Structure 1
């Protein structure tokens, strides 16, 4: 929902009512995940999407109905694969939507939430979707405060504690509680949607490959920083707008930078005097992905230097090198796609195998991702010192 919040905040600030539809549960090959949202505002203006076009027509009508009635409702769209095309959900999956009316009088916390998201301040919005509590009631939870209510103090307290835990992970989940906050599976359903600050992508080495990786990282929603000790290369005009460019020794910059389990680190410096101290620092701190560019010969030399520097086998196993998936990439832009593909596969537990050669669910269930452990054998990445080297 983050991408449509500016429009929602504009309507909210103007005092206009709008209908907000949010995906709160999915199964099988649902096209959009929990948290995807669509809204219908004044004069029928539409922003966002909940299914990539499958059921938006029906949702448009329902959103207008909840505004007119003033009551939230839960709707499920989903049919068998054989019948799905006839009714619109062509993927054959199932999505459950919460549709609720939003106005300043009904949702006093919405403006504060929108402001926090715009300022990249972490906040989780808890919304009742079903059960013996007011459907559509919301509770906004920040690390240091909460606002709103779900109906009872006990439920508010339990949800606030869980919301802060999910916020630390940047997770969006559906949880169940008793009316006084007991953790039960058969009572009040509460959707916890976390708006954590965007994860960071740290790109080291201001080469042409770095510009392409930074561009695709920005596209994927990362807050991208490019760092290089060479001021002649680390200039803002060489990189996309919005990408932070830092002139500093890579290992010193990383040592003074906070990383977490969502951080992506791409080492493109391709020089032992930069690579080795930088990877010593990177492999001993939290990160979702740590990848390094280079040929196989460069990789073996790098491993030897890191081993001599005291890194353990477990620490070295976190290194994705040569970085990227085997796409046959050659140009910097193609290499960036291969790197992004590996990051996405690692995040969600994907295999990198063509979907046409697989069976089962197309979209893995959340929680199946590998957290930056294990190095697989892959063809080498392009080596700027050896232009003839094959790409990832």
Structure 2
């Protein structure tokens, strides 16, 4: 799974958990501001043996947080704690040498969590208010924004389509697949039947027979998809753009079509193409996050 922050949110929403949120970073750290971890079993006093959802990268830090949450009294107010550089906890240091300001909430607001989860399930962005003390430094994060999970629409044929679909699903990406061979959902000159694309969706065309692309690309460009890509080299790209321009597609829309696709140029191996294209898509998706 790639949405570890969503996992922490959903675990906290389920109840019986504490929620830790990184609200400030002093120096370097391998997670961004807003990274979260939910510690399950806090209400039962499980302490350092509690299971966690989400990730803060450092196992020692996660154990420390689980223990600190377990020591908080039932019904205690959220606490803002510094870890690493500048922390009063002198026997705990971060490997990166930096400092983290982390909000420890032993009993997060279930109603607020429910609103965020419902919004994300409805494919809408949302924000969770954080109970940071009023006298805390102003630069600390006070609301945690979320965006819906990445979804993927794949259209095409052959080994490239199969490899990309398999890798995407292994990564936990919700994937809709429309194969050239499945005439019930995809036909030449038509649009994919039942395909759903929103602002958090990437659309990727993997055709060798490029005459299949023209109508599909017009459909994709009418959607709010954040990424639209099509397999093929520069010659295929120029022919594709010429066809779309003749169909009345303007320059702004044409610029939305990514081709060639992927981070690795001129790859001939389906598995490498899949990895290359998905890495590019994930990079574009990460750039959508308000805290990126």
Same fold (TM over 0.5): yes
Match of residue 272, structure 1, among 182, 186, 210? 210
- How high is the TM-score relative to the length of structure 2? 0.75
Cα distance 1:222–1:28, how it changes in 2: closer, same or farther (>3 A)? farther
Unaligned runs of 5+ in 2: none
1:338 counterpart residue number: 276
Residue 92 to residue 219, structure 1, CA distance change in 2 (3 Å): farther
Tell me, yes or no, if the aligned pair for 1:19 and 1:67 is still in contact at 8 Å: no
1:332 Cα deviation (Å)? 2.0
Report deviation, 1:226.
Answer: 1.0
Gaps of 5+ in 1: 81-85, 136-184, 233-245, 350-363, 368-392
Alignment of 1:77-226 (within 5 A): 77-79=83-85, 87-102=92-107, 107-109=109-111, 112=114, 116=118, 122=124, 124-131=127-134, 186=138, 190-194=142-146, 196-226=147-177
CA RMSD of aligned residues (A): 3.7
TM-score normalized with structure 1 length: 0.58
What residue in structure 1 maps to residue 51 of structure 2? 46
From 65, 69, 77, the equivalent of 1:71 is 77
CA distance in 1, matches of 2:129, 2:283: 29
Taking a change above 3 Å as real, the CA distance of residues 113 and 307 of structure 1, as seen in their structure-2 partners, is closer
Alpha-carbon separation, structure 1, partners of 2:110 and 2:75: 19
Partner Cα separation in structure 2 for residue 346 and residue 118 of structure 1? 19
Q: Paired residues, what number?
A: 275
The structural deviation recorded for 1:188 is 10
Candidates 164, 169, 179, aligned match of 1:228? 179
SS in 2 for 1:311: coil
Q: Tell me which of the two structures has the higher relative contact order, counting C-alpha pairs closer than 8 angstroms and 6 or more residues apart.
A: 2
Q: Secondary structure at the match of 2:130?
A: strand
- In the TM superposition, what is the alpha-carbon distance from 1:45 to its structure 2 partner? 1.8
Query: What does residue range 17-32 of structure 1 map to in structure 2 within 5 Å?
Result: 18-26=17-25, 28-32=27-31
Match of residue 243 from structure 2: 305
